[in-house]
Every structure is written in structure tokens, then in C-alpha cells.
Structure 1
Amino acid sequence: MEQAKNLRIVFMGTPEFAVPSLRALVAGGYQVVGVVTAPDKPAGRGQRMHESDVKIAARELGLPILQPVKLRDPEFVETLRAWQPDLGIVIAFRMLPEVVWAMPRLGTFNLHASLLPQYRGAAPINWAIINGETETGVTTFLLNHEIDKGAIIGQIRVPIGAEDTIGTMYERLMEVGTGLVLDTVERIAAGKIEPIEQQGIDESALRPAPKIFKEDCRIDWRWNGKRIVDFIRGLSPYPAAWTAMYRAGADEEQTAKIYAARFEEAAHEEAACGTVESDGRTFIRVACADGWIRLGELQIAGKKRLAVRELLLGWRDVLQYRFREP
């Protein structure tokens, strides 16, 4: 049995989701000998160089940082080897080549925000909510040659509430995941892991979690109401579900991001999907396949994100609009 806090750990990650685990390792007295994160890149209107959340945290913690452009770069690999890692930890990073993940003598494990083998891919939290799941979780697994297909070490199940969004679940899974990372390190050091291979699985029964692009976020008002509400929740607040809208007699389309909504089941034989109803003061609702989507919060392109009551104070011609399906 080894002492977990004597292990030389290399931590690899980029976004905010990885930061609490890094901070908890350092605060807990674990020996993080270095951090690998994404290179700085230009972002925003001014194209200023943006540092990853993990880099910012690593610098605050006084840890050595590597930012390789290519993970097979010989200079990077040699520097990594010089750190003499016993264990690698990966959270929301790139796919690693074998020369990197096989380097630590105890291997490298990854924290993934789903109950693997379900929701392999870049956006597991989003897709679990979009698909109407009532449960998700976090998984640690050993890296191998395939994305998210390594042997599972540990899992924690987490319920998804009817009001949860990607925002609330992200925070919850980030916290739960931090605990699982520390537990996994302790179990590896103690030799108390029995990794479960992801084999003999009916791949057709699995739901994927691919990266989400803007066009993937467009609402189709011909869907049923529950599907639309789950879709909005799974993309709120980022990247946000959106719709095209147009005013009667006008040629130009506008777009609006929708952050909150609820479903009202109702028959409306005369209202085509995308039809807008409002009292001009307190509500806006949009016809869908089996009822109405009552909007809670939205942002018309070029304007502020507002609750519907606030938005209607300045949107007098709302009834002249219709939300367009793709």
C-alpha cells in the first residue's frame, strides 16, 4: 500500500469544471507536481489572449504549468517525464496519446460527467437534460486508446430535478466530481480498485453526447412541449436555445435566445406551431405540437436578457410576431 499524498500527480484540464478538483488536491496535501492545460488563445471582440481557468488556478497555487500545442511534441513529453509522475488525472481536456497517458506508473484516470457508458462525448450534462433524463452522475475511468471507453473505477449517481438546467447540474456535478477524484486517488494508492471494462455493451442502446454547435441549439416548434422545455433546460444558460422570429409584413428575421420556459398542455387546432399569444403585460406563449410553451426569460438579439414581464414593457407589437420553425 502506498501513501496517496506521496504520489507525484500530474493534473490535466482546461475549463472551470476541473478547477475545484485541482484546488482540493492541493488543499488536501496531495503532491501535484505540475499542470498541463490548453495554450492561451485570443477571445472576445478585442481578441485579447485568454488563459484557461485551470491555468489561472494553477498559477495562484504556485504550480508548474505546461501548455503544449501538440501533445506528442518531444520537448513536452521530455518535460513531462522529468516530473516523474506516479499518477495522471484528466478532467475536461483533449484526447491524450498513449505516450502521455501511459507514462505515469499507476496510469491516468479521467473524470467524466455522466454515468458511463452512457453519454460518451464532449457535452454529457447538456445531452442528459435535453433527453429528459431524471438521473446522471460522474464517473472516473482509466484512459485507453478510445474516447471515454476505459475501465470504470468509480461512479456517483446524481438526480436531475424538473427545474434543473445545465447551469445547476454543472455546479452540482463539479462538486460531486471533486469528491470522487479524491476518493479515486486514495483507492488507487491503496490498491483497492477493481476497474470494470466497458465491454459486451449493446452500443445501439447508448446515448451519445457530441459537441454542441449553434445550429444544434435551434428550437423546432413542431416538437412536443416536454421536448422543447427539456431542450431549453439542457442549453440554459449556455450556449442557450434559440429561435428565429419574424414580424408580419416584414422581410427581416430576428433571433431570440430562450433561457426559461414551461409547458402548458392544451389542444389548439387553430393555432399553428410558432404562433405567439400574449396579453401584452404578463405572459408570452408559443404554440407547439401539443400545447403552449410559456416563456419565462429570453434575449432578443442586440438587447438585454430579460424576464417576460420586463420585456413586454417595451415590446408593444409582440402579437405581430411569429416564431419560425427550422
Structure 2
Amino acid sequence: MEQLRGTGVALVTPFKADESIDWNALEKLINYVIEGGVDYVVTLGTTGETPTLSSEEKLDLIKFTFEKVAKRVPVVVGMGDYNTKDVVKRLESTPILAEAAAILSVAPYYSKPTQEGIYQHYKAIAKASPKPVILYNVPGRTGRNMTAETTLRLAHEVENIAAMKEASGDMLQCMQILRDKPKDFIVVSGDDALALAQLACGMDGVISVAANYFAADFSAMVNAALNNDFPGARILNNKMMQGFDYMFCENNPAGIKAFLAHKGLMENYFRLPVVPASDNLYQQIGAYLSKY
């Protein structure tokens, strides 16, 4: 799992005006982030608007990502849901997952299960998965925090759970996990704005939204921090900080797609219920990028 150290990027899914997937734009984005220096890519994350994708489209996206990445970097595949049986079924019936480095599985959302329910959900997924599982705690989206105690229980007790993307925003919880985790358990940040502080606490990297746009600078910041060059990392982080705020102040992925549209990497289209960034925010992003 050392290949998950550094910068991973949670790829957006570009759409055309008719809401079909823009495959040409996705290929451009994949090449852009890899050439920018990211260490691996993540397909079918929340940033990819996966709740609006059909099962067929999800499989097509996995295949396309493997094809266009062409083994230049590892690929992590998102595979999460609040229906445990459905996740298990997809893990067991998607043979192309053999090419993945790992599976990223978000904690069950909407149902708001107890900590025991979260534990049993992940235990079943880990048993079914052909690849190591990355836990993903993002209570702002799921409605339920996965506590440090539950995370550590899974890390110590369930063999096929190898890493975690921690996006609770709770620094004390992050430090508790880092202090008590198994030695070979990888912990990465899921909060771009907190990533530098979390790397300083001992995290192994970041699965980033911002790296869709800031591929080179974000990767350089993470690498500097992992090499204990925190003065250098701070310079890069300070340069991007206002960008982080713009990316997430209304909605993800509306913010990052506005950045990518300004760069000409894709058009600014979405599937409902996500809508584009407001005109005011779009103009602010443009003004910020003109000076970046």
C-alpha cells in the first residue's frame, strides 16, 4: 500500500450539454493530472458525481480510466453505498477490479447506522473485496462520523482493510488514529484545506479534489511535506488557500468544475441536483486564476 502515499486525485466526471459523459475531456484531465505529478488517480469518487451515474456508466468509467491511465500510475476505484449487500454484489461481479490498486469505500450514508453497524458494513465489504479496502470517513456527506475507535478497530481486526481517507475535519480524531493505528496502515487526508496540517501530524498523503486543477503545485506541496520541507510546503499551500475556499464554498464538484472550465479542460455541465457555481463565484474564480 506504499503506492498510496503522496497525492491521489479524485477525478471529476466531465459532461456535455446533453448530460452525456465527455470522454475526450476526461482523457485530457487524466493526462493533465498525471503530467502534473500526481501519484495515483481515483475514479468513481463522490467528486465524480457517482450518485447520478448508471451502473453501465460506472463500469464504462472504470474501463476508460484504466485504458487511458495505461499503468502510468495506480488507479483506485470508488465502490461505496448505504446498501451493504449491493456493494458486496458489485465487488464480486466486477472482474476488472483486478487491475485496481485498491477500493475506496465511503461509510454508509443516509441510514446513519451505529458504530457497530459501520463496523459490520466494512467487515462484509473487506471480505468480498478482491483488493485492499480504503475506509472513507466524510460525515459532512454521510451524516454519521466514523469514530477513531471504530476506525482503529477495523484497522487492527479486519485483514483486508489497509488504509483510510479521513475527512471529518476533526484534528484530534485524526491524531488519535495516527497515534494508535497499525504500523503499516495508511492514512490520507480528504480535506484539501487541512492537508498540510494533517501531513505534519503524520498522514501519508492526500486524496485531493483540488489536484484536479492544482496538479503540479498540490503534488509538490505534498511531496515537500512528506520530506519534512515544511517551509517549502507552506509557500505552496498559502498560494492555493484562496482557491480551496472557492472550490468548496458552494458545492463540490461545482467549484472544481468551474476551475477546470476556466482552464479549458472541460465544459461547465452537471447532472441534477448539482448545478453550476453561481455567476458571482465563477467570476471570482476567474479573477483569482488570472493572478495565480
Instruction: Give the TM-score of the pair, scaled to structure 2.
Output: 0.32
Instruction: Give the TM-score of the pair, scaled to structure 1.
Output: 0.30
Higher helix content, 1 or 2: 2
Identify the structure with bigger relative contact order (alpha carbons < 8 Å, sequence gap 6+). 2
